[in-house]
Structure formats: C-alpha cells, structure tokens
Structure 1
Amino acid sequence: MSFPDDERTGHRIRAQRRLAGLTQRGLAARIPYSYSLLNQVECGAREATADFCTAVARALGVDVTTLTGQPVTTPDHAVLAPLRLALDLYDIGTDGLVIARPVHVLAAAADALCQQVRATRLRAAATDLAPLITELTHSVHTAPSTPGWQALASAYRSAADISLKLGHLDLSQVALDRMAWAADRASDPILAAIRQYKRGLLYKEKDDGATGRRLVAAGQQLLADEASREALAVAGQLHLGASALAARVEDATAVENHVAAARELAGRVGGEAPEVHWLSFGHRNADLHAFGAAVAMRQYDDALTKARHMALPPSTLTSRRARFLVDRARAEMETGHLDAALKHVAAARRAAPEQTRHYPGTRETITGLVHLSRRTPDTLDHMARWIGL
C-alpha cells in the first residue's frame, strides 16, 4: 500500500530528517531500507509505502502523520480508532448512558486483557479494551475508588502495549500519560514504576537510550521505600529494561551490571514471578534479556551460545517467545546460518503473527536474508511479501 502525493511525503521526510540533524546516510543507517531508496523517496522519484513511512517515523521519533500529512489508512486504524477516543475522553467521564459493572469485575476484565496482549492477540484485545476503558472511566468518575483507579491504570498499560506492538508510538505515549494520571490517583507507586519502565522502553524505540535510562532510574526511585515481593519483581524488571537500553548504545558493562542486579532480585523474589503484573520477572527473563542484549550489541556468536543453552518452557509468554525467535533468527543470519534464520523467523510468525509483522527486527532479518540468499526460497519470498518488501 502506498500513500497519495508521495512527493510531498518525501519533502516532509527530508524536513524532519534535517530537524533531527541527520544526513540521508545517517537516517538510512537507522531504518531497514537503503540509502538509495531514501534518496529517491525524498526527491519524489519513488513512492513512500506505508511501511517505509512507519519505519522513518519510528527512527525520527515523530508521528507517521507528520510525514504523510494524513492518517495512515491501514486495518490497524479502524481497530484503534475507538481506543484513541477512549483515551482522549479520559477527563470528562461518559455521557451518562454507560452502566458500569462492579469494580472487581472490571478489574478482572482488565487483567484478562493484559493476559490477552501477552498472548499477542492484539486486535482482539484492542477491540475489547476501548469499551472496558469507557466503563472504568465512568466508574472512577461516578464512584472513585483505589481498585477502580488501579484497574484503569492497568487498562491504559494494555493500550500502550497494543499500540507499541502495532507500531503506533504516538498512541502508546498517550496511553502511558493516561496510566500516570490513573496511577497517581490510585496512590500506587508500583503501577507508577511500571509506567516509567514502559515509558523508558518507548524511548528505546526512538533510539534515545539516554532518556530511556533516566526514566527507568526514575522508576527505581519510586520503589526505594517498597520491600514487598511485588515491588522487588518490578524493581528487577526495571533493571532488565535498563539493560536493554544500555545494549542499544553498546554499553556492555552497564548491561552486565543491570542483568546481575536483576538476577540478585530474582533470588530474593524466589525464582519466577509470572503473576506480577504479567511481567514474568525471574531468572529466565534475565536470560532472555542477556541474549537480547548480545544481539543488540552485535555479539552474534555469544548470542547464539546463549540461545542454544536456553529451553523455553510451554508456559513462556507468546510475546516473549516470538521476540526471542526473531532475535535468534537475526543472530543465525549474521553468523551465516541462513536456513536456521528463516526457520526461526517463520516460527515467530506462526507463534505471534501480529507482533512479528510489526517488530522492526523481523524486517531487518528478512531483508538481510533476501540480500544474502543466492536463490530466494519460496518460503522467504512469501515472508518478504508478507512484510511488504
């Protein structure tokens, strides 16, 4: 799919690139497209596809409509439109026609939707989430309660996760702002810390690791006086988030320190804590982050060694399994194991098609396989068409 009036889109891309202080080669290095294609799009010689604009917007940290001048007409927009409205009307309640279920029922529904997101059923979760947020908004405006605000903060967190996994960074940031608003009214430092963790990882997607690490550190400060098992698990997850941000700037020492701190907290928590806000914190999660950091730092031999010593149990969240498979595919490709790379990225697609299609590592890996393969297998050709190459 392409946008109309691509020449003006190219002009907008060039303007935003210059505002970011980047050369064409500098921007091309941040996206899974060639310098030549970027040059042709900016001068209007080639179309700017939806995926291309999304990748450039992600690299520049802007909303995609800043580049296109209009909303992107993809299936995601129809699904996310009610969610956008629910997030926008957070402060005025509802029109009075809503009949909200009891708070404990709404809280259970919010938790179930969080679980659904972890299972990567993203569009189905988004469809159910908008009316739930509307119900919760009505509940907290008509009969404010701590459990109500906590459930609303959890729902906003799911909205942020869905938006990010579908490539809508702008909507994810709005949802995290709403999460902060609800967590503050719930006087819940743990939810506030999770919000800072999510916010920090959003800056990783914007290639601003320094800001992301500051936000994660702010989350740790919120837990300074907390000693519950729940707080220890969230503090450990914050360390793992910091390790991912440190890996983005290839700070191996910081990665090692944060993973070690997370392992120490996992020991205090008592092993695995999958029930704590669906973070799945524990030793296995630390192993996955150490592996992911090795991939991010382009230490592919080390990454493969780590991957081959990991056996993910069936209980592993689908979202984490799919990301592990894509990252392993990247490591296999970079070490010359092209058949294994294709096998793992195909497995990621089977496990979590919605998440895998939008994950930047998928496009990077498939693009690399297309360039490296002397003969494009039917499976690879199909995967390339699936992501819009």
Structure 2
Amino acid sequence: MSSDPRREVGRRIAAARRARRMTQPELAAAAHLSLSMLRKVEQGSRAPGDHTLDAIADALRLDPSRLIDDPARTGGRVRATLPALSAAIAAYDIAVDAPWRPPAVLEETAAQAEAYRLGAQYTRLATVVPRLVTESIAAVHGAPEGPERQRAARLLVSVARSADAVAYKFGARDLSARLIELMRWAAPQSDDPLLCATVGYVRAEIFFVARAHQAGLRALESAIDEAPDAVCRRSTAALGALHMRAAVIAGRAGDVDAADVHLRHAERLADGVREGVYGGTAFGPASVRVHRTSVAVGLGGDHATGVLHLNGDWRPPEELPAERRSGYFIETARAQLWSGRVDRAFESLKAARHIAPQHTREHPWARETAATLRRLRRADAEALTSFAEWIGAV
C-alpha cells in the first residue's frame, strides 16, 4: 500500500482507465469531470470526494471500493444507508400514498441492482436500494389486482433480495431478517412458485446466522418438496439451488449423509443446464463444485483436506458471479490453513480480495483465517500484516 493514499487512489484510477483503453479526456467526459480535475486526481495531487469517486467509478464500471483502499470510508458509506433502508420497510404491509417510477424503469433499475449484488459491488448497491425498495412497495400496493400486481410483486422480491445483500454482508442481521420477511410477503402475490423457491433459498441465511442448522435443513427440504418439478432451465436451476444450499447447511450440521444426498441431486440437475444466473441465483456445474467445497469446509477434518486434492488447481470460471468466486477462495483458504498449507492459504485470501474486496473484508471466515495466519507467520511481516490490518484482523 502506498504511503500517500491520494497517490494510491490516482494510480488505481489510471490503471483501471488504461485497462479499459480509455484516454484521460474520454474518462473525464464519461465521468462529467473537467480534464484538469481528473489529471490532478490521477497524479495524486488532489483527493477525490465521494461524489467525484462515484462518478469515476461509474464511468469505469467499477465499485468505488476498488479504487480506494480505505475500508472505513467504503464500509462507512454502506452502513450510512442502512437506517434509510430500515425506514423504507418499516410498514411494508400498510398502503402508503407514495409515487413510483414506471414499471419498466423500476425493472431496469432492479436488474442493475441485481448485477451489483452478484458482482459484490455493495457501495454502488447501497446507493440505489433504499429508494428502489420504497418505490417497489408502493407499486405493489398501488397496482390493481391481477397481472400488474403480480409484476410489481416479482419486482419487489428482486429488490428486497438485493437490499438484503447489503444488510446481511454488513452485519445488520435483524434488518436482513426483516427484508426476508418482506420477500416472503411479496412472493405469494407474484403467482410464481419458482419465486417462492428463491425466497426459500435466501431464507436459509437466518438459520446460518442463528446456527440453527438442523432447523434450516428442514426448512430447505420443505422448500424442495414444494418447488415445481424441473421441467425447464429456470425450474431446474431453482430446484438445484435449493439442493446446493441444503447440502451446505447439512454440512454445517455435521450430517454427512444428507449433505451427500443433496449434492448428488444438485449435480444431477446441473448436468441439464449451462452455468448461468437463473432468477437471481447462479447455478450450474461450477456453482455446484463451489458448494461441494463449502460443504467439505463445513464438515472439516479429512473432508476439507480431501476437497483440496479433488479441486487441485481448479479456479472458478470468470462467468461465475464475483461474490461466489470470492467465497470459493475464502473457504479454500480455510481448508488450506487446516491442512498446513499456510502460503497457499494466504494466496487464496489475496485472490478473494482481488475478486471482491468488500465481500472479502466483511466475511468472518476471511478475517479469522487472516488473524490465524498472522499469528503463525510473524516473521513474514509486511504483506501479511498489511492484509490483516486491511481486513480488521488486528
């Protein structure tokens, strides 16, 4: 990390600009900044404020956290939006006379929010979800019964899920649970059984947080029983995603047999679809492989060591969402640490950070692994200590 934060920010902006084959005038125009301002920022003679940083990040199609290595600043900006998000859902089941943008505009914005979620771009996501949630709730209450209300309900489930990612990843677990209840309220109004399956998948977060793994497994198996048959790609992916998550929570519960059964179901279903995002959830052969790793790490011991041998040098493909790729490396680092592969564990943590810095920094396992590595390798001072400080492990 540079001793001068302004120069480090400028260096990252310049590197991102060149990677996109943009000139300084082109980036300045795209960000609606003066060329003089951009040059000063890249040179490190001027520190960009939040609005300037957001404008540059938007022009580069990046989350601002990739340009500024200041977790307190980026995390603080996300957390600052949580009260507004909480207020937006305080009375979601009560009709309030509030305006909302046309459905097509809301759906376009919701799709962008979903892309931010899958890309672990939480700073950008946090700036859009409070208003989007408010408008989507108003749309459900204001739309006439029938197709228009069903459309609004589908929109609200998508928006609430994106909002939940912000709350859940940044430790606002009560707010996350309330957003999941909002999803459970809206999904039946959509007249889409697959959407109810998606909500069942997201609801498992509550059980992970509470460490109520057996109850979570029962809830997921109930959602599997209620889910539509796998007759198309979307229904196959919805059912497969439920089996993936059921396998993980079974692993956390120490139920090896149940984890294996659900993984086998997920693998069979994944054989019938290409890797992709279906209904807001990534599913396919690579996703199942990532979840197999998660199951093994949850079980620990020989299971974790065995999955390292099975995976070898495999890396999640680029088409997998950033959050999922980052999670794979975080869990792999945990298994490598347990197996005594200290150097490899640190490399995995760095890979996770490169893919999704905010996701990595807010992940408790990443923080725990970094703290343990630092204790084990005090002689390997600078890089490991710098990483541990960045992630909040010291």
**TM-score over 0.5 (shorter chain):** yes
C-alpha distance in 1 between matches for 2:277 and 2:296? 27
Residues 1:141 and 2:141 aligned together: yes
Mapping 1:108-147, distance limit 5 Å: 108-144=108-144, 145-147=149-151
Secondary structure of 2:278's counterpart equals: coil
Residues 1:332 and 2:336 aligned together: yes
Equivalent residues of 2:170, 2:362 under 8 A apart: yes
Residues 1:289 and 2:291 aligned together: yes
Partner residue of 1:271?
A: 274
Residues 288-327 of structure 1: CA distance to partner in whole angstroms, max 9, x if unpaired?
Answer: 1111111121133212113325232221210011111111
Residues 264, 226 of structure 1: alpha-carbon distance in 2 compared, 3 angstrom cutoff: closer
Residues 1:319 and 2:298 aligned together: no
Partner residue of 2:93?
A: 91
Equivalent residues of 1:236, 1:261 under 8 A apart: yes
C-alpha distance in 1 between matches for 2:226 and 2:195? 10
The residue type paired with residue 342 of structure 2 is: L
Mapping 1:187-336, distance limit 5 Å: 187-224=191-228, 227-268=231-272, 270-272=273-275, 274-298=276-300, 299-336=303-340
Equivalent residues of 1:246, 1:254 under 8 A apart: yes
Secondary structure of 1:89's counterpart equals: coil
Mapping 1:7-156, distance limit 5 Å: 75-96=77-98, 98=99, 100-144=100-144, 145-156=149-160
Mapping 1:367-386, distance limit 5 Å: 367-386=371-390
Residues 167, 115 of structure 1: alpha-carbon distance in 2 compared, 3 angstrom cutoff: same
C-alpha distance in 1 between matches for 2:240 and 2:349? 29
Partner residue of 2:351?
A: 347
Partner residue of 2:10?
A: none
C-alpha distance in 1 between matches for 2:385 and 2:269? 45
Secondary structure of 1:88's counterpart equals: coil
Equivalent residues of 1:166, 1:355 under 8 A apart: no
Residues 302, 323 of structure 1: alpha-carbon distance in 2 compared, 3 angstrom cutoff: same
Equivalent residues of 1:200, 1:211 under 8 A apart: no
C-alpha distance in 1 between matches for 2:329 and 2:310? 13
Larger CA deviation: 167-176 vs 309-318: 309-318
C-alpha distance in 2 between matches for 1:78 and 1:374? 36
Residues 93-130 of structure 1: CA distance to partner in whole angstroms, max 9, x if unpaired?
Answer: 4454x3x2221221222122111111011122021011
Residues 300, 83 of structure 1: alpha-carbon distance in 2 compared, 3 angstrom cutoff: same
C-alpha distance in 1 between matches for 2:226 and 2:104? 26
Equivalent residues of 2:77, 2:123 under 8 A apart: no
C-alpha distance in 2 between matches for 1:137 and 1:186? 13
Equivalent residues of 2:228, 2:235 under 8 A apart: no
Give 1:207 deviation, angstroms: 1.2
Secondary structure of 2:101's counterpart equals: coil
Name which of 185, 188, 191 aligns with 1:184. Answer: 188
Name which of 153, 163, 166 aligns with 1:162. Answer: 166
C-alpha distance in 2 between matches for 1:271 and 1:126? 30
The residue type paired with residue 125 of structure 1 is: L
Secondary structure of 1:244's counterpart equals: helix
Residues 129-160 of structure 1: CA distance to partner in whole angstroms, max 9, x if unpaired?
Answer: 11111222222222242111110111111112
Secondary structure of 1:275's counterpart equals: strand
C-alpha distance in 2 between matches for 1:121 and 1:271? 25
Give 1:92 deviation, angstroms: 3.2
TM-score normalised by length of structure 2: 0.75
